[in-house]
């Protein structure tokens, strides 16, 4: 998928058919992370946890906590 666009769970499952670990690094947000964490080998988080979702800004602790809470359930 494109950078910042959500990754489909179906695409991850298909990629895993190759027998190698699959890390998802695009579109990881509290809305999508729980499902992706169930199937992907790893999640790479970038701009979501930055202030206003801007990769040039500092990490926003509230956004980081929201993402962790979403994945942990």
The domains of the chain are located at: 9-72
Q: What is the pLDDT of residues 45-57, one digit of tens each?
A: 989 999 999 999 9
Sorted by sequence, the CB contacts under 8 Å of residue 25 that are 6+ apart come out as: 43, 44, 45, 46
CA distance 73 to 67: 10
- CB-CB contact of 23 with 41 (8 Å): yes
Question: Is 28 buried (19+), middle (13-18) or exposed (0-12) by CB count in 10 A?
Answer: buried
What pLDDT shows up at residue 6?
Answer: 84
Average pLDDT value for residue range 6-33 = 95
């Amino acid at each position: 998928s494109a950078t910042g666009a959500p990754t489909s769970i179906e695409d991850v499952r298909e990629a895993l058919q190759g027998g190698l670990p699959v890390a998802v690094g695009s579109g990881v947000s509290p809305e999508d992370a729980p499902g992706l964490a169930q199937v992907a080998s790893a999640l790479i988080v970038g701009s979501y946890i930055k202030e206003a979702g801007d990769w040039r800004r500092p990490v926003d602790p509230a956004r980081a906590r929201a993402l962790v809470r979403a994945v942990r359930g």
